[in-house]
Every structure is written in structure tokens, then in C-alpha cells.
Structure 1
Amino acid sequence: MAHRKCILLVEDTASHRKLYASWLKIGGYEAHVLADERNAQRVAEELSPAAIIVDIRLPNISGLDVIEGLKRTELTRSIPVMALTVLDSLADQEACFAAGADVFVTKPDRIATFLDRIAALLH
């Protein structure tokens, strides 16, 4: 059974990890922060979070590949995924949705909008 309030955040930039984790806590969620996207699949399988937020520009594996892996795997396929990125072109949005993202959010977002999108992702 998924932890209703646990959100896995995959983000390589320390300042962004801190910002989004604090926003999640303010929203009443338990933020599980992951700096290294290479562990995202394993951690998602172990945690079974309510949702996963994936930065798209990551140093080792593209966030698109991380999302595709999550959506390809039986244990994590049904977990909603938010793509979080500084990229904001229509092509970037389409690539994120094609990879399996459920929601596309452009950085920097505002806390109210961000939390609204998380809530929508969980319903």
C-alpha cells in the first residue's frame, strides 16, 4: 500500500531540493529527497510513494529516461509522476508526457501552484 503523503523528489540541485522539500513539508507531505537519479527506480520500488517528482535535467540519466523506467516497471507504473524542469517549450512538454509524466511543471513555480498540482496528481 502506498504511503499517502510520501512524495519522492528526484532533484540534483541542492538549492532546489531544499526549496521543493520545504514546500512539500508546508503542504503536509513527507518529502523523500533523492540527489542521485541513478537510485530513483530502486527507491521508488522500496518506498511506494504517493507521487514522484522528477527533475528533467539531471547529470547522469535524463529525467525523461527516469520517468520512462518508472512507467515501464510493474511496481512503479501506477505512481503519478510530475516532471519538473526549467525547460518550457511545447516540445519539452510533449517529450515529458511521451515519457509518461502525468503533470508538467516549469521551474520556478510558486508554492500555491506547486501544492495545487501535487494535490491534483494525488486524486
Structure 2
Amino acid sequence: MPGDQPTVLLVEDEPAQREVLAYNLEAEGFRVARAENGEEGLLLVDEEAPDVIVLDWMLPSVSGIEVCRRLKMRSDTRGIPVIMLSARSEEVDRVRGLETGADDYVVKPYSVVELMARVRTQLRRTRPAAIGERLEFEDIVLDAETHRVTRNGDALKLGPTEFRLLSTLMEKPGRVWSRDQLLDRVWGRDIYVDTRTVDVHVGRLRKALCQFGGDDPVRTVRGAGYALG
């Protein structure tokens, strides 16, 4: 399902390098948004809401360092992991990249296999369920690899959409998700679904979570959306 795929924004001005990286990212199961310069990258951040950004330092117009600086200054994008790619191997350059806010720094030429591993490492922070991690919240345990959910030891029966919805809520307990944000994450951007559908599936999720008793852990925030806890 589209909502299961983590999105990687790839900002690279060299066409051949961009396509090689995009091919390998897609082979790893990621959805890839491509940008060939910094300005386009900044626009796609707002359009695509990526889970990870792979960002080249040397870009025409707006440099990768400047793109990273702008993103880390914004409250709505500073939490997106940025992996900086650069031919600059000096320690002072690495330090500058990291101090600008980059979460990782990879020197060219690099191993594609290693870069894929670094992307997965950053996703472990932001989308753990999407890469098969086990999530826990109070007495609820979600095993993304086996697609099983238990509460207080009892196995719960969840439909595919309710499972993805719970995964999203459990990845960031306490965060309030708007209906539009849940539509993007759970259903995917390429599918049109009415926002009222979110309410229907939240209702089904609540029923499933409470099928063996216990309090409803899903909180409705009036005028804003839903949160876990």
C-alpha cells in the first residue's frame, strides 16, 4: 500500500548519480521524490513531507548547506533527518555540515550499500514501524515484521488500514495528527480519500483496541485531529 512506503527526498544535481541512487532506494522499498537543485528541493519538502532527505552539498543556486540550514530553522521540518553528501572530506567541512544541522555526513565516493544502511538508520528514528521495528505503548505491542498487535498479551484483530493507522500513532505517542496528515501517511498521497474516512477507521481502531477491555488510548483533539495518549 502507498501509505506503507517511507518517502526519501533525493536532492542531487548530477543526473546519472541521481538515477543510480533513486534506483537503489526504490529497490530498498522507499518512495523517492527527486530534485535537481536546492530551490526545487525546498519546494518538494513541503509537497512530499519526506521521512528522510538525502542532500548533495554542491548544488546550483541554493547550496545543500543552505537548504539544510533553512530546514533546521523551521519547526515543521527540523525533525526530518538530513544525510549530507559531499566530495569535501576535510574534518572542518564535516563539522560544518553537522553543525548546520545535518544528521549524517557521507563523503563521495561512497558505497551505495553503506548509504542505504545510513538511510535505514535515520528511518529507525522517524518511521520505525515502516522498517519492521517493534513498537510499544503502555500495554500495546505492535510487531511490524510479523504484522501482529497485542494488548496486555491478547492478540488483537486489526484490518490493514487500522494496522497502518496504529503504526503511525505509535511511532510518535502524544503527537497530534490532523486528518490530512493521517491521510498522507496511512493512505498515501496518490489516492483520494475523503477526510471523513479517517474518522471511520479511527472508530474501528478504537473498537479493536478495546475488544478485550481497557481504556481507549486514542485521544480526539477537537479541531486538530487524533493522538495516542
Amino acid at match of 1:99: T
State the Cα distance separating 1:13 from its structure 2 match.
0.8
The equivalent residue for 1:57 is: 58
1:62-81 map, 5 Å: 62-81=63-82
Q: Give the whole-Å Cα distance in 2 for the aligned partners of 1:97 and 1:71.
A: 11
4+ runs of 1 displaced by more than 3 Å? none
The equivalent residue for 2:33 is: 32
State the Cα distance separating 1:4 from its structure 2 match.
5.2
- Tell me the number of residue pairs that the alignment of Structure 1 and Structure 2 aligns: 122
State the Cα distance separating 1:3 from its structure 2 match.
7.3
Q: Is the 8 A contact 1:3 1:48 kept in 2?
A: no
Q: Is the 8 A contact 2:5 2:31 kept in 1?
A: no
The equivalent residue for 1:47 is: 48
1:1-123 map, 5 Å: 5-123=6-124
Q: Which has the larger radius of gyration?
A: 2
Q: Any idea what SS the aligned residue of 1:52 has?
A: strand
Point out where structure 2 has 5 or more consecutive residues left out of the alignment.
125-229
Amino acid at match of 2:81: P
State the Cα distance separating 1:64 from its structure 2 match.
0.6
- The alignment's C-alpha RMSD in Å is 1.5
User: Relative contact order (C-alpha < 8 Å, sep 6+): which is higher?
Assistant: 1
Q: Give the whole-Å Cα distance in 2 for the aligned partners of 1:61 and 1:81.
A: 16
State the Cα distance separating 1:42 from its structure 2 match.
2.3
Q: Is the 8 A contact 1:49 1:79 kept in 2?
A: yes
Point out where structure 1 has 5 or more consecutive residues left out of the alignment.
none
Q: Give the whole-Å Cα distance in 2 for the aligned partners of 1:54 and 1:30.
A: 16
Q: Any idea what SS the aligned residue of 1:17 has?
A: helix
State the Cα distance separating 1:16 from its structure 2 match.
1.0
Identity %: 29
Q: Give the whole-Å Cα distance in 2 for the aligned partners of 1:108 and 1:30.
A: 24
